[in-house]
Chains A and B, each alone.
Chain A
Amino acid sequence: MSPPDWVKALKPAGQPGSELLAQERSQSNVDVDKLAELLHTRAALERQDRLLALMKNDKIFDKSQNHTLGRTERIQRALAKGKRLQQLSVQHNWNYDDFYAANDLLGEPTPYGLHASMFMVTLREQCTPEQKKAFLERAEKYEIIGCYAQTELGHGSNVRGLETRAVWNQDDKTFTIHSPSLTASKWWIGSLGRTANHAVVMAQLYINGKNYGPHPFLVQIRDMETHQPLENVYVGDIGPKFGYNTMDNGFLLFNNVKIPHFNMLARFSRIDKDTGKYMRPALPALVYGTMVWVRSNIVLQAGSVLARGVTIAVRYCSVRKQFQDRDATGSVGENQVLNYKMVQIRLLPLLATMYALHFTGRGMMTLYEENQKRMMGAAQAGPDELRAGAELLADLHATSCGLKALASTTAGEGLEVCRRAMGGHGYSQYSGVGHWYADYLPNLTWEGDNYMLTQQVARYLLKSARSVLAGQAANNDTCRILKNYLSRRNKGASFDVLEQDKDIVDAFAWRASHLTFEALKHRDVEKRSWNSLLVEFWRLSTAHSQYLVVKNFYDAVNSPQLSASLGPETTATLHKLFRLYALHTLEREAAEFFSSSAVTTRQISLAQTTAVSKLLDDIRPHAVSLVDSWKFDDWQLDSSLGRYDGDVYPDLFRRASQENPVNDLVFDPYPWNANVLKNSPKSSKL
């Protein structure tokens, strides 16, 4: 229902949002387009335009009812969107990057999500060539649709504790897949609940009563015609969740289901069909390759995930005005909310963080790809290359765990900070932040709870420290900083963190190293129990990951390529972002920096009172340009508050009055009348 003319004629009071944002854009010398190219590459930006042209005008991708539909209708529409994306993909011959970018623009998971990611990645990495032919090729054409069924009702992080069994039957050369208890039910498995007809099932392999640990099996679970579960397979959706409601996370139980020998994914470990003998994997570490891949991706995404919230909040807080400056004399009008220090201290460090995470993610992906190459080559090469590859894998594994934990926690919590910084309107779904946050939150607990993961980092750091003490240090960055710390331990550190950027990196390295040797002392000298040290390990991991972020950020902003492509002004602003991220982190973790003698109390108090505050002032004029560089399209943001043109209020009003089905209800508000609605008594039935 369209509002009456007198309402349509109304304009927002005061300076329009478009003017305010234009002002913001003209006061900054940041080269938005060049920075965008550096962040995303020109090819990716062109891809985005191409995809948007296809998607924006297709009604099937409409987003206006996302927040009002019930779950059943919502997931049906999500499947329609998923189908349409796949149709477009075939029609336009999309590659993986195109497909991934299109999903990102859609902004919600589709029921095909896990088929397109974990299922196919697992098949790619764990199938023999014959299995690839039989499974992967069909999966790529969506002839079989699959999911990756690892976690169970009773077990998540602890893969070894899984209860589902795969028992080898030598007589008929089959495996029997079975769920011995209720807690053995597969649980949380994306794309399984209603969509998949196949699953990669992680199950405890038993041969002659002996357990060989969890292994992957490909199991058909639904009929290819009727799409009904096969006999003795029990499968369904696990119900509504905090977010991710367009995904059919599923449960799955087996009642002695037989599958052929061929269906054990056998690239690394296999059973000899004739003898029933178990063949050990050549490179056990590679089995975890999928996990490392997923984690690398999470770190890379975290920057963009956060950037979306920061883009919305920075634009809105530039348009929103509230109160006059308390010290202003006379009537100067209300102040832009972003001018308030208590808003800046929440948003601008996050602005710096999204850049920090982005550059760190880039660094990690490079490390991952290098490792893949080395490991692939290692199969043919000698033991030396193999060892070097394993060393890099150890570094990568620890790095991916710690950074995944830090990056996803920072991004998730950062989104909520953005939402709250927008005050009341941030609570509306039209802000575009709330549902984005809710959908992102599982990243903080899946693929390994963030707290659990930190143990792996600590274990790796302790091992490295022992090797350094024994004079057998590996040639990598972690050992380098530990050695450096040991050599100067008795001379003390004097890092000039307020003046020298390089010294900031060294101070972070110093603190992480100090905590490593402290933890080592507690474990090896004082013989304290592992369990009693977990909180300390968590802190250690956080410190080490923060060091890595600071280091990656520092390396990125100091790279000659960066300044060459951006020019001096934009480069200078990125240097300030680096400093803001680093000093704000240092200030928040002040006690550890102080107690490790990396910095003095005087330096900390100067950082708190002067340096950070000055950086906020310096960065403030560039805030809008620095988020513009991320090049989110309005259609992707789907936010009234974060619109590029700043037309915040008319858009909020339009959505509320014209896209809101609640306004079709006319209530009968009186308790003594049984009807809930006046306009359609039938639908008032519950």
Chain B
Amino acid sequence: MPDFTDRLRPKQPDGPEILALERVDSDIVVEELAHHLLGQNGFLERQTRILPIIQKEPLFDKTQQQNLSRPKRFKLALARAKQLRRLSDQHGWSLEEYKLAEYLVDDVSPYMLQMEMFATTIEEQGTDAQRALWMPRIKSWQVIGAYAQTELGHGSNVRGLELEARWDRGNREFVLHSPTLTSSKWWNGTLGRTANHAVVMAQLLLPRPDSPDQFVSHGPQPFVIQVRDMTTHQPLDGIVIGDIGPKYGYATMDNAYMLFDSFRIPHSALLSRYAKVDPLTCHFSRHAMPAVVYGSLTAVRSRIVQHARLVLARAVTVAVRYTAIRRQFRDRDAPDTAPELSVLDYPTVQIRILPLLATTYALHYVGQTMQATYERTRSEIKSGSFASLANMHSMSSGLKSLCTMLVADGIEVCRRAMGGHGYGGGSGLIQLNNDYLSKPTVEGDNWMITQQTASYLIKKMSAAVAAVDDPPTDAMDGQYKLFLQGRAMGAPYRIFHEDYDLVRSFQRRATVLAHNAYIEREVKKRSWNSMMIQLHKLSRAQSQSILVSTFFDALNSENNLSLSEPLRRTLWDLFRLFALTTMEADSYDFLASKAASGAQLDTLPGRIQELMGRIRPHAVSLVDAWMIPDFLLDSALGRYDGRVYEDLFNRAHRQNPLNRMTVNPNYWEDEIVKGGDDMKNIRAKL
């Protein structure tokens, strides 16, 4: 319906004009940087090819999804996921291509666990016969599976799981049974409404050879079972399954509860590559999982980090573009006639966004390094040597924790830096925030898993102390020994002049914290619980040190030397900004561990501001290079063309179903919507 608002234009200069100027003002060649970041493995090429296919499919249109009820949102997600699979068949997509399409659609897919944990577990823990039986049906999606591990009463502590799989000697079957309410499976994705099969983790209970009426637990083991009828899709008799209800995010995922009432499953359900029960003797045998399994965990975590960088890049892209366009207040020192300042020119906005921009790059290089380490050492593992992998594996807990936290918090910092409009649906950061906030607590709670890293570091320090004069066994051992021999003296590092000294300063601080923890635990024998806060800090310090050193190494690598001079200069500035702002956030730690001097810390804010001033003109180009398509951003504020206000107005005015409803505002009248529901109808629906 045309009206007088159609003629209105935003105040000048408008978004497109401002962004055009921003882009001209930077000497960074966006294509060069984009290729540097995303050229490997053909990511950029895939995105370019698949985006038009996704964009023209009406089912993937995102305009109404924020308004839908959960059941409707969920149905939409299933329809989309089906369509994705059909497109995949139609275009003959590889797994990577399919994943990219899914990334662009940006729903957490109801089939997610089918593609990941379900298939992976059977592949890794099934015998050859089990693989042969299941994998073809999984690949064709006749079998749709979930992975059911966590329970209502137990998450991180896998050994505490309560669901029982009791061996029935007479029938040579297992009996799955939920003895309590807390033994209900809980949170298991894809299972609530979608899956017809599941890998279920249950305590394996076998009769004692000497007294067959008594059962002994052999710990949680994986079983693959059918849970729903293949025709009616109803749960099988003796199984209760459902969706666990609304969550902070993940609206499109049917996280489940599931209970068993003495449900019988065949002997062949136990995934038996490493754990076997002899059906005749009911003897249990187990082989240790090979190192390659730990290797794949590192690979999973490196993928989490690589995914994290693109998530943060999305938030930073929106924030940089919008705050460049948004004008608010005149500079206080400027004459009255001066135009209002771009919000991104305020240091209080820069200090929130630009370090996060630098963080996207830090995450990029650490993710690459993790992946490269995994690939390089795969052959070593096969020949039985996996020292560097063991190191990377231990470090990967701390890195997963730190990186996902940086991103989860970073999205929210970006959102808030945009002021009021950041809160609106047009920011494009709402679902991103809601969905991503699951990350700090899933796949290992971010606080819990830092204990693994800290525990490893204390062990390394103990080993270094025990053999302080022996030649170093690896880089970290060498670093620790240098410290123990008193040859690494601590400050002054020339952190403002030598980039490598930043690396040394971070290493110094991490080493001192590791040594302190070693003294407390191994020498003073303090309790583990009383040290937890310190252990968390240690893991964080070590992970930050890794981020700084991998960033440094990447910029020093040959690959990087071929980049153009303006690009290299700015990448080094980003490195410095990342390191110095990280240092500033924990500056007291650096001082106390003699990793920086008091005088240096006093200089830090000024130096950071100077770096931000140098990076500011390139901010728009530096986010452009992440090449996040508008379709994925789904953001009025972050549009590539800068038409912020037109888009906000369009969404409010033309796409908002609320505006098709006229309410009756008089409290003394029960009518709610003119000609629609009244209070009696609403009560009746409850």
Question: Do A451 and B246 contact each other (CB < 8 Å), given the known contacts A70-B68, A326-B529, A649-B153?
Answer: no
> A62 to B686, Cβ gap below 8 A?
yes
* 0/1 interface trace, chain B 2-21, chain A, CB 8 Å (1 if under): 01110011110000000000
> B587 to A591, Cβ gap below 8 A?
yes
Instruction: Provide a sorted-by-A list of 11 A–B residue pairs whose CB atoms are within 8 angstroms.
Output: A7-B240, A73-B69, A237-B656, A242-B430, A327-B528, A334-B157, A340-B529, A441-B416, A670-B144, A678-B232, A686-B79
Tell me if A270 counts as interface (CB < 8 A to partner B). no
Say which one of B373-381, B626-634, B665-673 lies at the interface with A. Answer: B665-673
> B243 to A240, Cβ gap below 8 A?
no
> B180 to A182, Cβ gap below 8 A?
no
| Interface residues in B56-72 (C-beta closer than 8 Å to A) | 59, 66-72
The 6 closest A-B CB pairs, nearest first, are: A67-B246, A590-B588, A70-B69, A434-B248, A240-B66, A86-B667
> A665 to B193, Cβ gap below 8 A?
yes
* 0/1 interface trace, chain B 214-236, chain A, CB 8 Å (1 if under): 00000000000000000011100
> A591 to B591, Cβ gap below 8 A?
yes
Residues of A within 8 A of B653 (CB): 236, 251
A475 to B224, CA, bound (A): 77
Tell me if A238 counts as interface (CB < 8 A to partner B). yes
Tell me if A538 counts as interface (CB < 8 A to partner B). yes
A530 to B338, CA, bound (A): 15
> B445 to A423, Cβ gap below 8 A?
yes
> B420 to A80, Cβ gap below 8 A?
no
* 0/1 interface trace, chain B 384-423, chain A, CB 8 Å (1 if under): 0000000000000000000000000000100110011011
Residues of A within 8 A of B180 (CB): 10-13
Contact check: which of B445, B661, B679 meets A60 at CB < 8 Å? B679
Say which one of A192-200, A276-284, A286-294, A466-474 lies at the interface with B. Answer: A192-200
> A650 to B652, Cβ gap below 8 A?
no
Question: Do A530 and B10 contact each other (CB < 8 Å), given the known contacts A427-B438, A686-B76?
Answer: no
Contact check: which of A62, A194, A343, A595 meets B662 at CB < 8 Å? A194
Contact check: which of B141, B184, B425, B659 meets A653 at CB < 8 Å? B184
> A87 to B419, Cβ gap below 8 A?
no
Residues of B within 8 A of A676 (CB): 75, 78-79, 82
> B661 to A72, Cβ gap below 8 A?
yes
Contact check: which of A3, A83, A423 meets B667 at CB < 8 Å? A83
A589 to B233, CA, bound (A): 57
| Interface residues in B320-351 (C-beta closer than 8 Å to A) | 327-329, 331-333, 340-341, 345-349, 351
Question: Do A656 and B242 contact each other (CB < 8 Å), given the known contacts A83-B670, A530-B333?
Answer: yes
A69 to B71, CA, bound (A): 8
* 0/1 interface trace, chain A 529-541, chain B, CB 8 Å (1 if under): 1111011111000
Contact check: which of B240, B664, B666 meets A3 at CB < 8 Å? B240
| Residue of chain A at shortest CB distance from B332 | A530
Tell me if B561 counts as interface (CB < 8 A to partner A). no
10 more CB-based (< 8 A) A-B contacts, given A239-B424, A343-B447: A71-B66, A72-B658, A182-B9, A236-B658, A323-B156, A416-B437, A529-B333, A535-B347, A613-B533, A663-B243
Residues of B within 8 A of A184 (CB): 8, 11
> A197 to B665, Cβ gap below 8 A?
yes
How far, in Å, is A108 (CB) from chain B's closest CB?
Answer: 14
A661 to B193, CA, bound (A): 12
A429 to B536, CA, bound (A): 28
Residues of B within 8 A of A531 (CB): 331-333, 341, 345-347
Residues of A within 8 A of B346 (CB): 531, 534
A251 to B653, CA, bound (A): 9
A75 to B658, CA, bound (A): 9
Tell me if B493 counts as interface (CB < 8 A to partner A). no
* 0/1 interface trace, chain B 340-370, chain A, CB 8 Å (1 if under): 1100011111011000000000000000000
| Interface residues in B556-596 (C-beta closer than 8 Å to A) | 587-588, 591-592
Tell me if A38 counts as interface (CB < 8 A to partner B). no
Question: Do A242 and B240 contact each other (CB < 8 Å), given the known contacts A234-B5, A237-B659, A595-B601?
Answer: no
Say which one of B471-479, B541-549, B643-651 lies at the interface with A. Answer: B643-651
Question: Do A183 and B645 contact each other (CB < 8 Å), given the known contacts A430-B245, A532-B347?
Answer: yes
> A227 to B329, Cβ gap below 8 A?
no
Contact check: which of A68, A84, A179 meets B246 at CB < 8 Å? A68
Tell me if A604 counts as interface (CB < 8 A to partner B). yes
> B248 to A671, Cβ gap below 8 A?
no
| Residue of chain B at shortest CB distance from A334 | B160
* 0/1 interface trace, chain A 128-163, chain B, CB 8 Å (1 if under): 000000000000001001000001011111100101
Question: Do A241 and B423 contact each other (CB < 8 Å), given the known contacts A535-B348, A684-B75?
Answer: yes
Say which one of A94-102, A167-175, A394-402, A442-450 lies at the interface with B. Answer: A442-450
How far, in Å, is A527 (CB) from chain B's closest CB?
Answer: 10
Tell me if B598 counts as interface (CB < 8 A to partner A). yes
> A442 to B649, Cβ gap below 8 A?
no
Contact check: which of A76, A82, A446, A535 meets B420 at CB < 8 Å? A446
> B248 to A179, Cβ gap below 8 A?
no
Contact check: which of B152, B193, B348 meets A667 at CB < 8 Å? B193
How far, in Å, is B671 (CB) from chain A's closest CB?
Answer: 9
A605 to B86, CA, bound (A): 61
Tell me if B38 counts as interface (CB < 8 A to partner A). no
> B327 to A154, Cβ gap below 8 A?
yes
How far, in Å, is A583 (CB) from chain B's closest CB?
Answer: 13
Tell me if B174 counts as interface (CB < 8 A to partner A). no
Tell me if A27 counts as interface (CB < 8 A to partner B). no
Residues of A within 8 A of B430 (CB): 240-242
> B437 to A427, Cβ gap below 8 A?
yes
Tell me if A491 counts as interface (CB < 8 A to partner B). no
* 0/1 interface trace, chain B 434-472, chain A, CB 8 Å (1 if under): 000110111001111000000000000000000000000
Tell me if B663 counts as interface (CB < 8 A to partner A). yes
How far, in Å, is B8 (CB) from chain A's closest CB?
Answer: 4
How far, in Å, is B639 (CB) from chain A's closest CB?
Answer: 15
Most buried by B among A236, A343, A650: A236
Residues of A within 8 A of B78 (CB): 667, 669, 676
A160 to B663, CA, bound (A): 33
> A239 to B85, Cβ gap below 8 A?
no
| Interface residues in B236-252 (C-beta closer than 8 Å to A) | 240, 242-250
Residues of B within 8 A of A234 (CB): 3-5
> A71 to B605, Cβ gap below 8 A?
no
> B658 to A341, Cβ gap below 8 A?
no
Residues of B within 8 A of A84 (CB): 679
How far, in Å, is A339 (CB) from chain B's closest CB?
Answer: 7
How far, in Å, is B653 (CB) from chain A's closest CB?
Answer: 6
| Interface residues in A654-683 (C-beta closer than 8 Å to B) | 655-657, 659-672, 676-678
> A322 to B672, Cβ gap below 8 A?
no
> A653 to B181, Cβ gap below 8 A?
yes
Tell me if A622 counts as interface (CB < 8 A to partner B). no
> B663 to A195, Cβ gap below 8 A?
yes
Say which one of B47-55, B123-131, B254-262 lies at the interface with A. Answer: B254-262
Tell me if A426 counts as interface (CB < 8 A to partner B). yes
| Residue of chain B at shortest CB distance from A3 | B240
* 0/1 interface trace, chain A 565-602, chain B, CB 8 Å (1 if under): 00000000000000000000000001100110000010
Residues of A within 8 A of B419 (CB): 156-157, 445, 449
A193 to B441, CA, bound (A): 37
Residues of B within 8 A of A236 (CB): 652-653, 656, 658-659
Tell me if B551 counts as interface (CB < 8 A to partner A). no
| Residue of chain B at shortest CB distance from A421 | B447
A234 to B441, CA, bound (A): 45
Question: Do A424 and B155 contact each other (CB < 8 Å), given the known contacts A227-B664, A659-B245?
Answer: yes
Tell me if B523 counts as interface (CB < 8 A to partner A). no
A112 to B666, CA, bound (A): 10
Residues of B within 8 A of A595 (CB): 598, 601-602
> B332 to A342, Cβ gap below 8 A?
no
How far, in Å, is B310 (CB) from chain A's closest CB?
Answer: 21
> B160 to A323, Cβ gap below 8 A?
yes
Residues of B within 8 A of A155 (CB): 328
Contact check: which of B66, B605, B645, B656 meets A154 at CB < 8 Å? B645
